[in-house]
């Protein structure tokens, strides 16, 4: 057996006085130049310094040479360590690919007692059971989930309102745990629910089986109740009471909330954040509205554009940073995901910001009727009559057929950002992702025309804003480092 040993010190010394370029990309930003290496490590250079770099005129004793070497933008001629480290970091960045598919979404019912105008799942009436998933389809969904090579399996129950078919949730949880005795995977469960139908029996089951709850909270009562009509007009009151009961029964970390941004949200970001704080929720995801489902039918999506949402996001982030300066622990999750990509070699796996895209290989959806979709957004498109992201059916298709289907591979391959027009040159690409469903929904193909893409415009603006704060606001920098390190 061979024994590893440390290499000689000379192995780490520069081979000559000259430096060589390593692969990097750049973008000009207000007179400065952002430079990112192969794995997204970056620094911002003054214009004249960048010209010296580009023209290979930087003196070898320049302090900037040390910084550029530290970021693996250049190497001393003959130096091998940067190549090994870059390879290691690239492998770390893409390691999730060997762990597909981690998130399995079971749409246990399309029924819902809410009638939200923007609802992304195009809900069906509550008073019919034809929109519930059958036990047979659920078991086939479990077959598919446990066929996945991922060592971690999360099963998320969605709707409609999944609590309307809670009996099936109980059965799926029991069977999944039983099957996992043989598989030994790290198994987790989440119910995405509006909490309006929460009962003590449901809470008891969740406590006994370790389920997590993800709910919706759009902000203050009037805004939430306007967004989420239901009989009694008490959606907010039920959600807030539900959050309190879940925390009491399961623990404070067992419930999280997601907000949906509507036109009515745009001028009220402080109130929305305050509502989260008052309920003891220490993080918020400032999300844009998605161009799917009822948001299109009711024209909610076109009600405001990317720029207005960006104003909302920037104002919300500024408020959250101010709260952190005052000692209040509050996180903005979208920024947190991006900062983790910017400041670490970790890939947080947020499906909207990964490349290859997260469809199918990051998350997969088993619809109530047994049809399989590459993503929740793909399911929403199907509800609008477009089956482009339909991968097959639980009753007829095998795992191999689903995962090698052209319906999955074509959008994955075509949208891969390092090969996409403009993305392949873009210095922000390591922070970004490809979203073939979004681009298909908005422009009719999996790639989209990037200069006209709101996805691109929005993400670029966020990246620039975060970088600006990181470099010019010491307090924000400290907060960002904390978020990225979590």
CB of 77 to other proteins, least distance (A): 9
Query: Where are the strands (E) in 145-287, listed by range?
Result: 152-158, 186-192, 212-216, 255-258, 283-284
Which residue lies nearer to other proteins by CB, 54 or 221? 54
Closest distance between other proteins and the C-beta of residue 452, in Å? 5
**Which own/partner pairs from 386-391 qualify as long-range (CB within 8 Å, at least 24 positions apart)?**
388/440, 389/359, 389/437, 389/440, 391/360, 391/364
Least Å distance, CB 421 to other proteins, is 6
- For the bound state, the minimum distance from the C-beta of residue 92 to other proteins, rounded and expressed in Å, comes to 9
Contact between residue 391 and residue 408 where contact means Cβ atoms under 8 Å apart: yes
- Contact criterion met (CB below 8 Å) for 219 and 260: no
Q: Looking at beta carbons only, is 156 or 454 nearer to other proteins?
A: 454
Nearest distance from C-beta of residue 87 to other proteins, angstroms: 4
Report the nearest approach of other proteins to the CB of residue 27 (Å): 9
85 or 384: CB nearest other proteins: 85
Retrieve residue 48's tokens.
């004249």
**Within a 13 Å sphere around the CA of 396, how many CA atoms are in the beta-carbon half?**
6
Cβ neighbours of residue 357 under 8 Å, at least 6 residues apart? 351, 411, 412, 415, 416, 433, 434, 435, 436, 437
How near is the Cβ of 412 to other proteins at its closest, in Å? 16
Shortest reach from residue 274's CB to other proteins, in Å: 37
Q: Which residue's CB is nearer to other proteins, number 84 or number 326?
A: 84
DSSP string for residues in 361-403: TTEEEE-TTSEEESSHHHHHHHHTT--TTEEEETTT--HHHHH
Backbone φ, ψ for residue 81 (5° rounding): -55, -45
391 φ, ψ (degrees, to nearest 5): -100, -10
Residue (318 or 422) nearer to other proteins, CB: 422
Q: Pick between residue 23 and residue 210 the one whose CB is nearest to other proteins.
A: 23
Most distant pair of Cα atoms in the chain: their distance: 77
For the chain, give me the number of helices (H) and strands (E)?
A: 18, 15
> Shortest approach of other proteins to residue 54 CB, angstroms?
6
In angstroms, give the least distance from the CB of 299 to other proteins.
20
Site residues for other proteins per CB under 8 A: 15, 21-26, 28, 38, 54, 78-80, 83-84, 86-88, 90-91, 94, 421-422, 425, 449-452
What is the closest distance, in whole angstroms, from the C-beta atom of residue 91 to other proteins in the complex? 4
Is 11 or 222 the residue whose CB approaches other proteins more closely? 11
Eight-state DSSP code of residue 424: G
Supply the DSSP symbol for 106.
E
Task: Give the nearer residue to other proteins in terms of CB position, either 79 or 156.
Answer: 79
DSSP 218: -
For other proteins, the closer CB: 7 or 130: 7
Q: Which two tokens stand for residue 174?
A: 């029991």
- Least separation in angstroms between residue 219's CB and other proteins is 33
Give the C-alpha separation, 467 to 43, whole Å.
10
Given a contact cutoff of 8 angstroms between Cβ atoms, the answer to whether 295 and 120 are in contact is yes
First and final C-alpha spacing in the chain: 39
Cβ proximity to other proteins, 51 vs 136, nearer residue: 51
Burial zone of 353 (CB within 10 Å; 0-12 exposed, 13-18 middle, 19+ buried): buried
Q: Kindly tell me which of 98 and 135 has the beta carbon lying closer to other proteins.
A: 98
| 3-state DSSP of 269-311 | HHHHHHHHHHCCCCEECCCCCCCCHHHHHCCCHHHCCHHHHHH
**Comparison of 322 and 414: residue with beta carbon closer to other proteins:** 414
């Amino acid at each position: 057996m061979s024994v590893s040993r440390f290499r000689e010190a000379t192995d780490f010394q520069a081979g000559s006085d000259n430096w060589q370029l390593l692969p990097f990309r750049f973008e000009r930003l207000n007179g400065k130049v952002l430079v990112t290496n192969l794995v997204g490590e970056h620094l911002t250079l003054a214009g004249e310094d960048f010209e010296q770099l580009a023209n290979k005129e930087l003196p070898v004793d320049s302090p900037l040479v040390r910084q550029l070497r530290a970021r693996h933008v250049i190497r001393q001629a003959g130096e091998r360590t940067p190549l090994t480290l870059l390879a290691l970091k690239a492998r770390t960045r893409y390691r999730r690919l060997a762990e597909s598919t981690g998130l399995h979404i079971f749409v246990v019912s399309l029924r819902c007692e809410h009638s939200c105008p923007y609802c992304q799942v195009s809900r069906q009436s509550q008073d019919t059971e034809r929109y519930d998933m059958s036990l047979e389809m659920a078991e086939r969904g479990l077959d598919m989930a446990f066929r996945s090579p991922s060592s971690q399996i999360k099963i998320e129950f969605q709707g409609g309102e999944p609590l309307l078919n809670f009996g099936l949730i109980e059965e799926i949880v029991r069977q999944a745990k039983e099957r996992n005795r043989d598989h030994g995977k790290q198994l987790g469960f989440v119910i995405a629910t509006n909490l309006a139908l929460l009962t003590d029996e449901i809470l008891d089951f969740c406590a006994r089986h370790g389920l997590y709850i993800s709910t919706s909270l759009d902000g203050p009562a009037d805004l939430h109740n306007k967004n989420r009509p239901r009989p009694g007009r008490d959606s907010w009151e039920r959600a807030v009471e539900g959050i309190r009961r879940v925390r009491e029964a399961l623990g404070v970390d067992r419930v999280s909330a997601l907000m949906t941004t509507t036109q009515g949200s745009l001028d009220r970001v402080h109130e929305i954040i305050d509502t989260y704080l008052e309920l003891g929720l220490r993080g918020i995801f400032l999300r844009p509205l998605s161009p799917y489902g009822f948001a299109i039918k009711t024209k909610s999506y076109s009600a405001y554009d990317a720029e207005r949402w960006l104003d909302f996001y920037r104002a919300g982030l500024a408020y959250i940073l101010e709260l952190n300066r005052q000692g209040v622990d509050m996180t903005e999750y979208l920024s947190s995901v991006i900062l983790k990509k910017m400041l670490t070699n970790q890939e947080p796996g947020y499906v909207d910001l990964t490349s290859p895209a997260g469809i199918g290989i990051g998350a997969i959806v088993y619809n109530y009727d047994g049809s399989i979709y590459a993503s929740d957004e793909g399911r929403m498109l199907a509800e609008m009559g477009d089956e482009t992201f339909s991968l097959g059916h639980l009753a007829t298709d095998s795992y191999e057929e689903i995962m090698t289907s052209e319906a999955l591979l074509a959008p994955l391959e075509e949208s891969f950002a390092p090969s996409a027009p403009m993305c392949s040159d873009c210095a922000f690409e390591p922070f970004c992702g490809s979203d073939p469903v979004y681009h298909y929904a908005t422009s009719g193909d999996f790639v989209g025309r990037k200069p006209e893409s709101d996805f691109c415009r929005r993400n670029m603006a966020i990246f620039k804003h975060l970088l600006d704060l990181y470099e010019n606001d010491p307090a924000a920098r400290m907060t960002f480092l904390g978020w990225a390190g979590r």
